[in-house]
Structure 1
Amino acid sequence: MQLWLCPLIAFLLGSIPFGLLIAKAKGINIREHGSGNIGATNVLRVVGKKYGITCLLLDALKGFIPVLIAINVIRISSHSPLMTFDFPEGWILHIPAAEALKGQIAHILTALAAVLGHNYSPWVGFRGGKGIATSAGVFLALMPAGLGVLIIVFLIVFITTRYVSLASIVAAAALPMVTLWGSWHHGRIQDGTWNKPLFVFTVVIGLLAIWKHRSNIQRLREGTENRFTRKAKSTHV
């Protein structure tokens, strides 16, 4: 039951359009303003900083919570979850080390379902955000150290260019390489125990994130993409 229930919960949780709900609470239809996207970046631009940050955190939790649950209720005997919860024993499916691939696939399907739920939410006509925040939540549960590297990559590009979209695209492109580096660094590739479903997932998520940014890529090429700039302080004489 856990093998199909975890992805289902992930999709339903991921599909909650927090950006749309937050903006609606302020009397704004976020799909009619800015880029029309329901993600945190557009909420920040249109509704305000604190609402954008709230949306960012909630969208990240949509990815983090279901994957963390999956890792804890579908347990591979040779691996210990970084964060454990005391679920009733009857809820936990124990996967022997020899069948680790089955557990890894279940974890990755849960992660993918969360991102797809956000990107193609049935509550908004199977449309949604670009999945960056939700993907960050997923990778916080799956590979927290790798996420830290990606955040550094994102910040370097963003601080240098002031383009959120470009920073997101570069981080998405770097995702599979960071995953491979982590597996090699920990000796998992050398001994054949590396998480192959995770690598495939990072390729899929990276390509999906870049595809969802195709309109941003066009605007970047045309020089019309919105750039975050610091507001100048007003002076009073």
Structure 2
Amino acid sequence: MQLWLCPLLAFLLGSIPFGLFIARMKGIDIRQHGSGNIGATNVLRVVGKKHGITCLILDALKGFIPTLLAITLIRFEGQNTAFTFHGLLDQGYVFPLADQWKAQTLHVVAGLCSILGHNYSPWVGFKGGKGIATSAGVLIALAPLVVPVLIVAWLLIFLISRYVSVASIGAAALLPFVVIYGSWRHGKLASGEWNKPLFIFSVVIAVLAIWKHRTNIKRLMEGTESRFERKKKAVS
């Protein structure tokens, strides 16, 4: 049951349009303002910083929680993970070590389902956000050491460009390289023990994230993309 239930729950949880709900609490239909996106960036611009951060956290959690649930309920012998729902370990299905790739594949499938649920939510006409926060939540569960590197990269690109979209695209493009470097750095690439499903997943979500930013890319080329300007200090 865990093998099909985890991806299904991941999609359903991922499809919850938190950005839409948060904006509606303020009497705003977020789809009619700013970029029309229900993600955290548009919520921040339209509704405010506090609400944007709340949306960011909730969108990340709906990627983290179902992925962690899959890691807990679908395991392989000798699996060593940073996080699990310890109270559910006895309910899990354990693959033999030789089939660890099957468990790893199901982990990333659950993560991908949560991202697809966010990007193409059935509750808002199969539309949604760009999946950056939800992808970050998934990666915290799958490969927690990757996330700080991507956050630093995102911040550096954002501080230089002042475009959220450019920072997100840059971090997404960097993801597969960070994953493969981590495998090489720990000697798993040479031994053949590296997590191949995770690398494939990193490529897929990188492409998906860039694809979801295609309208931003068009606006960047046209010079009409919204930019976060530095606040000028008042002259006394």
Taking structure 1 as the reference length, the TM-score comes to: 0.96
Contact 1:18 1:55 in 2 (8 A): yes
Counting only pairs closer than 5 Å after superposition, residues 160-199 of structure 1 correspond to structure 2 as: 160-199=160-199
Match of 2:13 in 1: 13
Gaps of 5+ in 2: none
Shift of 1:78: 2.2
Contact 1:59 1:133 in 2 (8 A): yes
Gaps of 5+ in 1: none
In structure 2, give the amino acid aligned to 1:110: A
Deviations 1:140-165 (A, max 9, x none): 11111111111111010000110000
Match of 1:38 in 2: 38
In structure 2, give the amino acid aligned to 1:64: F
Aligned to 2:60, the other structure's residue is in SS state helix
Match of 1:28 in 2: 28
* Alignment length (residue pairs): 236
CA distance in 2, matches of 1:31, 1:225: 17
In structure 2, give the amino acid aligned to 1:21: F
Match of 2:225 in 1: 225
Contact 1:30 1:37 in 2 (8 A): yes
CA distance in 2, matches of 1:131, 1:180: 22
The ranges of structure 1 where at least 4 consecutive aligned residues each deviate by more than 6 angstroms after the TM superposition are none
Against the structure 1 CA distance between its residues 89 and 43, is the aligned structure 2 distance closer, same or farther, given a 3 Å change threshold?
closer
Match of 1:111 in 2: 111
CA RMSD of aligned residues (A): 1.2
Q: Percent identity?
A: 64
Shift of 1:80: 1.6
Contact 2:73 2:88 in 1 (8 A): no
Shift of 1:191: 0.5
Shift of 1:89: 5.3
Contact 2:75 2:103 in 1 (8 A): yes
CA distance in 2, matches of 1:200, 1:83: 22
Against the structure 1 CA distance between its residues 182 and 88, is the aligned structure 2 distance closer, same or farther, given a 3 Å change threshold?
closer
Match of 2:140 in 1: 140
Taking structure 2 as the reference length, the TM-score comes to: 0.97
